[in-house]
A and B are shown apart, each in its own frame.
Chain A
Amino acid sequence: MKDWRYWLAEQRGTLLALGIFIVMFVIYTSNHPAGFTANVVQTAANKGVLLAFVAMAQTLVVITAGIDLSVGMIFLLTNCLASWLVVGTPMQTTLGVIAVLAVGLLCGAINGAIVIYGRLQPIVATIATGAIYYGIGLLLRPFPGGSVNEDLADALTGRVFDVVPASLVVLLAIVLVIWVPFSRSVLGRAAYAAGSSETAAYMSGVPIRRGKFAAYTLAGLLAAIGGLFLTFFTYTGDAAYASGNAYTLFSIAAVVLGGVSLFGGKGSAIGAIFGALAFRTIGDLLFVFDFDPLWQPLFQGVILLIAVSLGAFALFRVRNRLEWFL
């Protein structure tokens, strides 16, 4: 086989997600009353990148065969924190952004430490830490409010050269700065190896613990970037339990749509980003077709259910019945 065919096989999930996204976006814009304009693209991009960041965060953990049910709450917590800190002079704003990102990193590191060194199950551990992060967020913002440096916010949510949405540029930059180096480093490979077969990786001397820890920590950072962007869009901080939960849920949907295997070891953050954008576009389709907004949660839930059921197709490839019961 030629090299490109290996590459194609490896990227199949990502390309499928890209395909779904393009089809959905074409349907969306062609039915949108304003049509395919820079404004529509900008609004869609701004909504999409929020989920894209959280989905990237989820991907890193899912690759290690874990799951992070606290990403939505880290996202909320950093949103509340940013509504306090990212204000004032450029200097203060910069320090505020750094502090918010550091808190996200810390939240991820706490998750990682509890799961890897404390040897607790990721589901239970992250539900519990999610409660803690939500509690701190609620402490910071018992009522929605706060503010953000509006110049910075407008710059990052506006358009570059009046065409390209700035948020997409930031998303691309984050991919280049965080995802690409991570996936090519020893730690990233260790994360993949741990998700693929932890015992085998351990026996081959792969630094699985450090790899998994790095994955959880960077997941916290990515969720914090999402939280920062939420503050840039809304200008406020709001500790809404339902919204945090929804982001956790949607991040899993995006990961699945993006071709990342929930059993670990397979998939890429790029796929999850397209998955996130596609999921958002599908959710918004209801609006361009003039449905009652009440139906949106049900619609999104059904998409999620269908997306996770797609994993069942793997059963057709199973030759030996025993493989069902690993």
Chain B
Amino acid sequence: MVGKSDGGIAGRMPKFIRRADPAVLTAFACIVLLLFLGSLYSRSFLSPEYLLQQLKVASFLGVIATGMMLVVLLGQIDLSVPWSVAAGAMMACAAAAYGPVGVALAIPFGIFCGVLIGVVNGIGVAYLRIPSMIITLATNAVAQGLMVVYTGGFSPQDSATRAMRYLATGFTIPGVPNAVIIWAVIGAAMVFVLTRTGFGRTVYGIGNRERAAYLSGIDTRRVVMIAFAVSGGLSAFGGVLLAGYASKAAQSMGDAYLLPSIAAVVLGGTSILGGRGSYLGTVAGVILITLLQSILSVMQMPEAGRQIIYGVVIVAMLLLYGRAPASR
């Protein structure tokens, strides 16, 4: 609609603003607003140390939200995040109990368990055509049951390996936490896959209309299954990092990541119906949510208030720019 000859306001704006997604712009505007509000509350809010610390905390959510975004782009949802995160963390810590080999394999094993959960989700959604929110809720329950049996039946070695701690809290490049580097690498890979590969185009195609993608000769079911497997693996990797950060795994450590990971994706302008969204938006969503959480904890808001504000903010922002078209 906005051509070069268009003399309207939009026509005179710089090109990068015209091309940007309004949702992503809104999300970044909200980040600036939150930083401003935070700096009113406390001077140290804008210090580099604090911001870097926030980025580090954000990277755990960032890794998990990357997988969620892939699934949401397909028009599906992954509600098995809580126990994929917990299973990844617990299984990685558990592997560490089996001698030097276990320590070496701890991280891959944790991720592998997440991939396994994701594959079950993928088979259910892609081949059995079960609605994703239902099958992922069910696998979440099964993963929870397995973990309860595991932690109750055996005595778990519940400390993270040195490698996990190093990944989550160490510094390879001075000043930049490793977790942030990991998020950057995973994010870059995701951007590459989504924009430069056939797989990425297929993901967008399926999200827009799976029938059309199928009719153009794409094995849509395999793509859906791979996406769920990746989502499970990334959730578990997020759990591994979290376990490294806290140096141990805990029962309900994943619960706090379900709503934020969905919210980050949706607030970043990815359509929950699939087929539309950019990774930049998800990055904005992740930072936005981390800042919101951080401000609430700096203000020493109790858990109850946090949950309420959190839900209200997400509903409000979705009403602002996440609405579905009216039925016609």
Mark out the residues of chain A between 202 and 257 whose CB falls within 8 Å of any chain B CB in the assembled complex. 202, 208, 241-242, 245, 249, 252-253, 256
> Assuming the A-B contacts A262-B131, A309-B128, A315-B129, are A131 and B138 also in contact, with contact meaning beta carbons closer than 8 angstroms in the complex?
no
Contacting pair B315 A249 (CB below 8 A): no
What residues on B are CB-neighbors of A130 within 8 Å?
A: 311
Cβ of A98 < 8 Å from any Cβ of B? Answer: no
Mark out the residues of chain A between 291 and 326 whose CB falls within 8 Å of any chain B CB in the assembled complex. 292, 294-302, 304-305, 307-309, 311-312, 314-315, 322, 324-326
Bound: A131/B293 CA distance, A: 14
Contacting pair A298 B327 (CB below 8 A): no
User: Which of A124, A132, A296 has most chain B Cβ within 10 Å?
Assistant: A124
Bound: A303/B281 CA distance, A: 38
Task: Return the CB mask of B116-140 against A: 1 if under 8 Å, else 0.
Answer: 0000000010001111011101111
Task: Return the CB mask of A251-292 against B: 1 if under 8 Å, else 0.
Answer: 011001000001100000000000000000000000000001
Cβ of B253 < 8 Å from any Cβ of A? Answer: no
User: Which of B138, B309, B326, B328 has most chain A Cβ within 10 Å?
Assistant: B138
> Assuming the A-B contacts A297-B145, A298-B142, A309-B130, are A120 and B324 also in contact, with contact meaning beta carbons closer than 8 angstroms in the complex?
yes
Contacting pair B141 A304 (CB below 8 A): yes
Task: Choose among A120, A132, A301, A315 the residue that contacts B318 (Cβ–Cβ < 8 A).
Answer: A120
| Tally of chain A residues near chain B (CB < 8 A) | 59
Task: Choose among A131, A138, A252, A322 the residue that contacts B311 (Cβ–Cβ < 8 A).
Answer: A131
What residues on A are CB-neighbors of B262 within 8 Å?
A: 124, 127
Cβ of A135 < 8 Å from any Cβ of B? Answer: yes
What residues on B are CB-neighbors of A253 within 8 Å?
A: 138
- What's the minimum C-beta distance from A268 to chain B, rounded to whole angstroms? 19
- What's the minimum C-beta distance from A197 to chain B, rounded to whole angstroms? 11
Contacting pair B263 A128 (CB below 8 A): yes
Contacting pair A118 B131 (CB below 8 A): no
> Assuming the A-B contacts A124-B266, A124-B318, A309-B128, are A297 and B144 also in contact, with contact meaning beta carbons closer than 8 angstroms in the complex?
yes
Bound: A127/B79 CA distance, A: 10
What residues on A are CB-neighbors of B266 within 8 Å?
A: 124
Task: Return the CB mask of A117-133 against B: 1 if under 8 Å, else 0.
Answer: 01111011101111110
Cβ of A134 < 8 Å from any Cβ of B? Answer: yes
Cβ of A136 < 8 Å from any Cβ of B? Answer: yes
User: Which of B145, B252, B328 has most chain A Cβ within 10 Å?
Assistant: B145
Task: Choose among A199, A208, A300 the residue that contacts B145 (Cβ–Cβ < 8 A).
Answer: A300
> Assuming the A-B contacts A139-B308, A241-B255, A297-B145, are A325 and B210 also in contact, with contact meaning beta carbons closer than 8 angstroms in the complex?
yes
User: Which of A127, A241, A301 has most chain B Cβ within 10 Å?
Assistant: A301
What residues on B are CB-neighbors of A135 within 8 Å?
A: 303-311
Task: Return the CB mask of B222-263 against A: 1 if under 8 Å, else 0.
Answer: 000000000000000000000000000000100100110011
What residues on A are CB-neighbors of B37 within 8 Å?
A: none
Those 3 A-B pairs whose CB atoms lie nearest each other, nearest first: A298-B145, A135-B307, A301-B141
Q: A124-B318, A139-B304 are in contact. List 19 more A-B contacts (CB 8 A).
A: A114-B315, A118-B319, A120-B319, A123-B77, A125-B318, A135-B310, A136-B304, A292-B153, A294-B153, A295-B145, A297-B148, A298-B142, A298-B144, A300-B145, A308-B134, A308-B135, A309-B124, A309-B128, A309-B135
